[in-house]
Amino acid sequence: GTGILSSQPEENPHWWNANMVFIPYCSSDVWSGASSKSEKNEYAFMGALIIQEVIKELVGKGLSTAKVLLLAGSSAGGTGVLLNVDRVAEQLEEMGYQGIQVRGLADSGWFLDNKQYRRTDCVDTITCAPTEAIRRGIRYWNGIVPERCKLQFKEGEEWNCFFGYKIYPTLRCPVFVVQWLFDEAQLTVDNVHLTGQPVQEGQWLYIQNLGRELRNTLKDVTASFAPACLSHEIITRNHWTDIQVKGTSLPRALHCWDRSLHESNKNGKAPLKGCPIHLIDSCPWPHCNPSCPTIRDQFTGQEMNVIQFLMHMGFDVQKMAQQQGLEPSKLLGMLSSGN
């Protein structure tokens, strides 16, 4: 594999020699389903049960002697980590393996149940508002959510537990959250489409506001990495070592997190100096971080630099420079260098 699944130290400096198991996403239920095929329902949705069975099987293949189990996932798999990490820990405890520390790494699965830019009728997964999609899905899949989260909400309101900022405070296991501030999947479900036409001012404001909202939901997340980029998924990409927030790469931040958990297990010490684990970009628009992955024009496939991208987005350099009290050339220089 690539990124965190790579066995090359250059590409995966911290976990290249770990035991890795990749579980393909075949259940389309955000890893939460527990509904078997029946006369009424021709599909089975068994994401939650698949994870349980895999854990059972791995115990006989060496997991029983592990010190740490890191449950990691991207997109639906990222949300799946939040929904399953405590259950996996409980399952191992019940099987008599209290010594295994279970942790989660959730990449691009921290969605917001925010108001869409343009409301559309819920006819498929793309047009459906995030809340409505989950509300319908959970009934269809017979979705399982963790007990501690479920107790926070009224009966029938379990859908809330699919949203990171609502489930995170109820989790017992440590979780590291990786989330682009301008996630493409979030923008898609919010009906913001960045293709072809320059972006209208309303959309541009909506996008900036999305970044602010997301940043807010992460402020109390102990371990997080949130670059101000327009993208989706990162941990299995081979460029995952290149992205930095405040001078720290994601593998480095994960290494710091790992160390901090070892240290706190030993003596409950304060966070390690010079080894940050709470990294959130503060600049306000997509790709204002110069280490963001390259953007391609969705029609031509051509690579765009930050300035070309912002122009394509309808960003008015003159007007913005005026508002900031800067010369346009100075603003362009700042944008290019990511200040």
Q: Does 320 score more than 90 pLDDT? A: no
Where does the pLDDT of residue 335 fall: very low under 50, low under 70, confident under 90, or very high at 90 and above? low
Looking at every residue in the chain, the average pLDDT score rounds to: 90
Tell me: the pLDDT tens digits for 261-280?
A: 988 766 555 667 889 999 99
> Average pLDDT, stretch 7-23?
96
> Average pLDDT, stretch 131-138?
92
pLDDT at position 106 is 98
Percent of the chain with pLDDT over 70: 93
d(C-alpha 68, C-alpha 77), whole Å: 19
pLDDT at position 299 is 67
DSSP-based three-state secondary structure for 106: strand
d(C-alpha 215, C-alpha 207), whole Å: 13
In this prediction the pTM is: 0.91
Q: Does 240 score more than 90 pLDDT? A: yes
> Average pLDDT, stretch 279-297?
88
> Within 13 A of 311's CA, how many CA atoms are on the CB side?
9
pLDDT at position 325 is 84
What are the residue numbers of the active site?
A: 75, 183, 232
Tell me: the pLDDT tens digits for 72-104?
A: 999 999 999 999 999 999 999 999 999 999 999
> Average pLDDT, stretch 51-64?
97
DSSP one-letter code for 3: G
Q: Does 9 score more than 80 pLDDT? A: yes
pLDDT at position 215 is 98
Backbone angles phi, psi at 231, to 5 degrees: -165, -175
Q: Does 339 score more than 60 pLDDT? A: no
Report which of 113, 98, 128, 234 is spatially closest to residue 179, judged by C-alpha positions. 234
pLDDT at position 14 is 93
Taking the CA atoms of 256, 259, 265 and 268 in sequence, report the sign of the dihedral they define: negative
Cβ 203 vs Cβ 117: under 8 Å: yes
